[in-house]
Amino acid sequence: MNSDSSVPTPISAISPTPEGNPNLQIRLKSEGGRLLLMLPAETEVSSSMGWSDLWMQFRQRLSGGDRFWQPNTAVHLIARDRLLDGRQLQAIADALSEYQLLLKRIYTSRRQTAVAAATGGFSVEQHSPLAHLNQPAESGQALAEPLYIQTTVRSGMEVKHPGTVVILGDVNPGSAVIAMGMC
C-alpha cells in the first residue's frame, strides 16, 4: 500500500508510471459524499500510456483493495486534458455501475471530451487550460473558444463552459447551461 490507504498501489505491469507520483496514476478519492475519479493528465504521463493502459489501471483500482464507497455514490470524473470519446466515457460509466457507482459529472479542459460527455447524457464542466487563465480578457475577448453541442440537454444535466455555448438541440426543463463567455 502507498501512503494514501484508500488507494491501492498499482501493479507495476499495469502502470508504466512511477509509483511514487500520484499525479501519474488513476486515483479514487472520497469527497463530500461523492467519489472523485481522477485521471492523469496527458501532458504528465508517458506517451506510451494509452487508453488500454488507463483502462487496465482503472479496472484494477475498482476491484482491488478496500472499497471505501457506499452503493449509489455519485462519481465525478476529473479528466483534465485527457481526450476521451463517447465510447470510452460509456465504458467508464458501465464499469462504475458494476460496483453500484453512478457517473454524474465530467470535468475536462478538452472540447472533444466535453462534447462527448454532453452527447452521452452526462453533466459536464469544461475549464480553460491553465495557460489561458493567466491572460487577461481584453477588448471583449472570452477566455475560451465557443463550445458547440449537437444534442438534447436533458433534465438533470448541466453544461458549464468558460466561453460561449451553442446548442443545436433542445434544452429540457430541469437542465442547466452555464456559459461565462462575453457578448
Give the model confidence (pLDDT) of 63-102 as tens digits. 876 677 888 899 999 998 899 999 999 999 999 999 999 9
CA–CA separation, 13 and 76 (whole Å) = 27
Instruction: Find cell 491572460 and name the residue.
Output: 135
pLDDT digits (tens, 9 = 90+) for 96-112: 999 999 999 999 999 89
Beta strand segments in 14-173, E: 27-31, 34-38, 73-80, 101-108, 123-126, 147-149, 158-161, 165-167
- The CB-based long-range contact list for 3-11 (8 Å cut-off, 24+ gap) reads 5/66, 6/30, 6/65, 6/66, 6/68, 7/61, 7/65, 8/60, 8/61, 8/64, 8/65, 10/57, 10/60, 10/61, 11/60
Of 45-59, 103-117, 167-181, minimum mean pLDDT range: 45-59
Angle ∠(49,52,56) on CA atoms, nearest 5: 100
Is 22-139 CATH 3.30.750?
A: yes
User: Could you give the CA distance from residue 77 to residue 92 in angstroms, rounded to a whole number?
Assistant: 9
Query: Cα–Cα distance between 133 and 177 in angstroms, integer?
Result: 21
* Residue 118, all three cell numbers: 454532453
> Which residue has cell 500510456?
49
Q: Full-prediction pTM beyond 0.75?
A: no
pLDDT > 70 fraction of the chain, expressed in percent and rounded: 72
More confident residue, 181 or 3: 181
Q: Find, among 149, 78, 79, 161, the residue nearest to 120 by Cα.
A: 149
Please tell me the distance from the alpha carbon of residue 120 to that of residue 57, in angstroms, as a whole number. Answer: 23
Across the chain, what does the average pLDDT equal?
78
Q: Domain-by-domain residue ranges, the chain? A: 22-139
